[in-house]
């Protein structure tokens, strides 16, 4: 399987959005149907300042696209350059801002954790929000997540990147090991977003990536 990364545009979202949501639901093990609610939110994100998305695209001979599940991730042109390409990974984010719900939740959490207002402002003033990063389970364990993230963060103008991820016992999953390997540190732990009982961690790291940064390695 040959894999390449491609910058995804908002204009082409009618081609890549459904395959990307399919990867999201499968990778996160969410119930089928979750993608219907998420589609509107992801479309709204596309309109946010400095939104950027990167996809991982695998070449797969048509004869090997054997199941309806695989066919759901098939890409049309012009995102695909041939008739036998599937989306296998997606990463996107945008510039954080005070009027965004996620930013407001983070500021609430930081205040609850005892940070002063100036400290909260300093953390939340200038950042790129890594909103989504998912690799289809059949393509995990080949460094694709790291490759996607390195490409997404390259050349960003913000001073840091922030993300939220579900807490995991002993940080023992691929997302945690990727983020730690890429230099992410704790910003806030065990936070519960309004409307979601699961505890989440906020992690962050400075930008830009350095020349020898692990995030650049592939």
Ligand X SMILES: CC(C)(COP(=O)(O)OP(=O)(O)OC[C@H]1O[C@@H](n2cnc3c(N)ncnc32)[C@H](O)[C@@H]1OP(=O)(O)O)[C@@H](O)C(=O)NCCC(=O)NCCS
User: If binding means CB under 6 A, how many residues of this protein chain bind ligand X?
Assistant: 17
User: Which of 134, 151, 156, 205: binder of ligand X (CB under 6 A)?
Assistant: 134
Asked whether position 175 contacts ligand X by CB under 6 A, the answer is yes
Using DSSP, state whether 201 is helix, strand or coil.
Answer: strand
Quick one: DSSP state of residue 63? G
Quick one: DSSP state of residue 113? T
Task: Say if residues 20 and 64 touch (Cβ distance below 8 Å).
Answer: no
CA distance 32 to 25: 7
Asked whether position 105 contacts ligand X by CB under 6 A, the answer is no
User: Which of 15, 21, 27, 79: binder of ligand X (CB under 6 A)?
Assistant: 27
Cβ 175 to ligand X shortest distance, Å: 4
Cβ 173 to ligand X shortest distance, Å: 6
CA distance 43 to 105: 21
Cβ 162 to ligand X shortest distance, Å: 12
Asked whether position 140 contacts ligand X by CB under 6 A, the answer is yes
For residue 130, the cross-strand partners are 93
User: Which of 60, 110, 133, 188: binder of ligand X (CB under 6 A)?
Assistant: 133
> Is 179 an annotated catalytic residue?
yes
User: Which of 38, 46, 51, 143: binder of ligand X (CB under 6 A)?
Assistant: 143
Asked whether position 125 contacts ligand X by CB under 6 A, the answer is no
Q: Where are the alpha helices (DSSP H) in 135-212?
A: 144-153, 174-181
Of 190, 191, 207, 187, the closest CA to residue 120 belongs to 187
Binding site for ligand X (CB under 6 A): 27-28, 133-135, 140-146, 165, 174-175, 178, 218
């Amino acid at each position: 399987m040959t894999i390449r990364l491609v910058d995804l545009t908002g204009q082409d979202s009618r081609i890549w959005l459904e395959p990307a949501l399919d990867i999201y639901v499968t990778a996160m093990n969410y119930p089928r149907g979750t993608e219907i609610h998420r589609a509107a939110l992801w479309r709204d994100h596309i309109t946010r300042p400095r939104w950027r998305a990167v996809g991982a695209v695998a070449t797969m001979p048509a004869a090997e696209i054997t199941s309806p599940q695989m066919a759901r991730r098939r890409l049309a042109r012009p995102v695909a350059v041939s008739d036998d390409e599937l989306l296998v990974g997606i990463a996107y984010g945008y510039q954080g801002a005070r009027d965004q719900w996620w930013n407001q939740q983070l500021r609430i959490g930081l205040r609850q954790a005892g940070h002063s207002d100036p400290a909260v402002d300093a953390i939340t003033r200038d950042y790129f929000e890594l909103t989504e990063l998912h690799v289809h389970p059949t393509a995990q364990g080949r460094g694709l997540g790291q490759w996607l993230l390195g490409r997404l963060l390259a050349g960003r103008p913000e001073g840091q990147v922030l993300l939220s991820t579900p807490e995991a016992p002993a940080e023992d999953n691929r997302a945690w090991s990727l983020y730690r390997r890429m230099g992410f540190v704790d910003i806030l732990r065990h936070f519960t977003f309004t409307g979601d009982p699961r505890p989440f961690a906020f992690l962050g790291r400075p930008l830009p990536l350095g020349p020898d940064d692990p995030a650049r390695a592939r």
